[in-house]
Structure 1
């Protein structure tokens, strides 16, 4: 998003945060209802165009959203969506993306309130690694000919009772309604949102052997100092790196593995 849509999303995020800061607010219920709104707006192209039409007044659009949603979702969700359509959006599609992001943030807030945000972050990362290493599973989760119900049931059979309910809900939504994203892109976006709940960046760390707690603490401190942000470490073990560490933060890769150094030496010799 950019321009007006980015500003509108920021306002919507502030409204959601203010609402979920209230201990009586049910963040998980909000997440489910916002996911329903996302599905409606994604399906009804003409509706989202009307709700983002700059020629219409914000109040008129908010009134329309209220009439459509009242009785379908709770009053808090109606208020959130009404506030969103009062804002100006650069593209109608951005309104759908924003509703989807708010649904994920609400679920992550529920995890944070339960003291389980770290678990959810780690489980999202692990699920991605499992899917990446299992072509048959990944194919089943991304099969366009499979029904959403079948893919959702597959995720529930894999994660039910083994992962936090928030992790399960987030992954089910992703595989049943990817909205043009790959599985990897969707999981990465969710990981970034989870890290943002603590104002942290995410570093994917690959090592030949598991790191000790002391090594993890030291690496986290070094990366936090380097990037000026608290850092969440997603740890992966790959014997093929031989030794050292590979660290990826966003699009930047810091590779200090033996395999990388051997590859570089080979390239120099070949040159």
Structure 2
């Protein structure tokens, strides 16, 4: 991600936080806008062209989306194209990220991170499902409908919207990669980090609470836990937060001991 894009995302996120009336309709319109811009190299190029006057880019947004979207959506898209982006692809990514954040804001009490993580695990454990959702030959609308059918009644509307929207425009990204990124974006929007915990057996409530408290103290922010049961861990835990890995598993200690004995 280029430095221009980093600044642009910060500006658009700030604009989202300051915008009233954010609901799932706005989030859905932002996802649709990301697909429309992503599907047209001419449109994405025009909107990401930093050499073009800002007013000209804003006029393109008005002409393309205009009254077809809610005022809040139009305002946010205008803010997006007013920024400088490192590339047209990162502009599309920026609109998509804004859509994920909007969905998280629309249902603040829904456990979107947990639900996205669980769906990601379902995809990982079902190769046929992963192939169906990730195939380049598959119909985008059909993929979205499949996700809605799988998650309907089992996840919040925000989670269903995010997952169904992302699989319709993978842009060379794997489904699990899309869901993982969305989980991190939702967590960031809610002011916390996501930790993936690998353990030989499920953690009980007390263990989960203690670990979350310890990690929150270490990182200086709230931490939500996603637990993966992995028998290869043997005992102890392996925790991953972004690029940090804390490995306190028995398997890791045994591997280290074998390495030392091998000299």
Q: TM-score, normalised by structure 2?
A: 0.93
Change (3 A) 1:270 1:210: same
**Aligned to 1:52, which of 48, 64, 69?**
48
Distance 1:88 1:95 in 2: 9
How many residues end up aligned between the 2 structures?
263
Distance 1:266 1:160 in 2: 48
Instruction: Tell me what 1:136 maps to.
Output: 128
**Aligned to 2:218, which of 219, 226, 231?**
226
Tell me the CA shift for residue 71 of structure 1: 2.4
Gaps of 5+ in 2: none
Distance 2:221 2:27 in 1: 28
Cα contact 2:22–2:105 (8 A) shared by 1:
no
Distance 1:258 1:248 in 2: 16
1:7 maps to 2:3: no
Deviations 1:84-138 (A, max 9, x none): 22222222222211111111111111121xx11xx21111111111211222222
Gaps of 5+ in 1: none
1:264 maps to 2:256: yes
Distance 2:125 2:215 in 1: 27
Tell me the CA shift for residue 270 of structure 1: 4.1
Q: Which segments of structure 1 move beyond 6 Å, counting only runs of 4 or more? A: none
Deviations 1:193-239 (A, max 9, x none): 11112211111111122222221121112112222222111112223
Larger RCO (alpha carbons 8 Å, 6+ apart): 2
Distance 1:79 1:194 in 2: 21
Distance 1:29 1:202 in 2: 26
Tell me the CA shift for residue 5 of structure 1: 2.2
Range that drifts further, 175-184 or 98-107: 175-184
1:91 maps to 2:87: yes
Distance 1:220 1:182 in 2: 29
1:187 maps to 2:187: no
